[in-house]
Amino acid sequence: MKATLLALAFLLELALLVAAGWWGFTLDARWPARLLAGLGAPLLIAVVWGVFCSPRANVPLPAPAKLGVQAACFLTGGLLLALAGRPVPGAVLVAVWAVDKALLTALGDPV
């Protein structure tokens, strides 16, 4: 069960990056701006995640702060999907992440 939840967490992290890219590439702007946003938004989220949330994070945070950063990343991804005209997938992304994180926490997995 725990391995399945961890695999789902990884897939959700990938979906988060796709959501950020989707938003950027669907902006109502000229191609250079869409390219910058479509590549820049996922890159920014990946950097934040890598610095604060990865198992080998450069800035180790206490569990509540790490959970807060993770929640902020996923809420941002959900909001970006909503702004791209996909509010239901955005809400599903955030909800599935929250359930997955709650189940992992209940099974004793560190944040």
Residues 76-99 pLDDT 10s: 999 999 999 999 999 999 999 999
Q: Find the length of the chain.
A: 111
- Please state the rounded mean pLDDT for residues 55-60: 90
pLDDT value of residue 70 = 97
In the predicted model, what is the mean pLDDT of the chain? 95
* pTM, rounded to two decimals: 0.93
Give percent above pLDDT 90 in the chain.
Answer: 91
> What six digits make up the tokens of 26?
């669907």
**What is the sign, positive or negative, of the torsion defined by CA atoms of 97, 52, 18, 8?**
negative
CA distance 14 to 83: 19
Radius of gyration from C-alpha coordinates of the chain = 14
Please identify which residue in the block is written with the tokens 């989707």.
22
Local structure of 106: helix, strand or coil: helix
Is the confidence at residue 110, as pLDDT, over 80? Answer: no
pLDDT value of residue 16 = 98
Answer whether 9's CB lies under 8 Å from 104's CB: yes
- Please state the rounded mean pLDDT for residues 72-79: 97
CA distance 52 to 69: 7
